[in-house]
Amino acid sequence: MHYVCIQILIRNTLMRSTLLYCLPFLFQWSGAQLVNRILVPTDDTFTYSDNTIRGMESLLKTYHSTAGSQFRRVIYLKFDISVLSNQISTSRIRLYCNGVTAGGDKAHIWDVYPVTVNTWSEDDLTFTNAAQKAGADVTSPLLASSASFDAGLAIEPGYIELSGSALTKALLDSVNAGKNYFSMRIRERNVVKNGTSGVFVDFHSRENSSGFAPQLIVEEKNAEDAKLADLKVDDESIDSFSENTFSYVWRAEWNKLLKINV
């Protein structure tokens, strides 16, 4: 069971000293159901080796290397989060994998890290300019991870999920800060080889004709249930009233009747 609390401050200027009165109104919020929002990236790409732009390719590739960052394949995703409320409960990422044949010498695990600059675009991000366009290549905090896929075993085509409480916190912090976009970087944790050959893993991009675009799935409390139906003073709606606004400041003369409709 959830509640909405409205506090009204009344400033009394009839006396030399200003007095503040706080009148709390508590309403039961009984219909707080959880809803899933499925977001598709506004931009997705991967970087590797040079100044090639790969934002329009149908596949997003991953591979980890300790021989040098230029040999890695790293995925970048950006989502429009302006549709989210600050009532986020959980979040997870889904990537559609083309499948991996058996024979890798280490487990496949994918990790998610923050991207510090949200102004990058799939039309201009490359390995060469990634630090300039998307910010430093940070490895902390670790936002989310996939399950571990055992070494040597095949991975069937299908969605792979990555989740973690740090991802949910980062999303919530971004929403509360008023940010419209949220970016992340996804890379494989281990160097996986089959013999002497590297094992590259392909995921579907938003441009892929399969329709299996990357997804950010956010579970949040239905903010619709917390909206006021109307807010009136002497039976007249206040000028700034909007059901999408959760905070109001206005001036009214003494002895006015306030009516709150929920």
The token pair that represents 136 in the structure block:
């430093």
- CA geometry: angle 97, 166, 43, nearest 5 deg: 45
Domain spans, the chain: 2-33+223-261, 35-221
What is the pLDDT averaged over residues 46-61?
A: 96
What pLDDT was estimated at residue 232?
73
User: What are the pLDDT digits (tens) for 145-197?
Assistant: 999 999 999 999 999 999 999 999 999 999 999 999 999 999 999 999 999 99
What pLDDT was estimated at residue 221?
85
Q: Is the pLDDT of residue 21 over 70?
A: no
What pLDDT was estimated at residue 189?
97
What pLDDT was estimated at residue 248?
58
Q: Is the pLDDT of residue 209 over 60?
A: yes
What pLDDT was estimated at residue 235?
74
pTM: 0.77
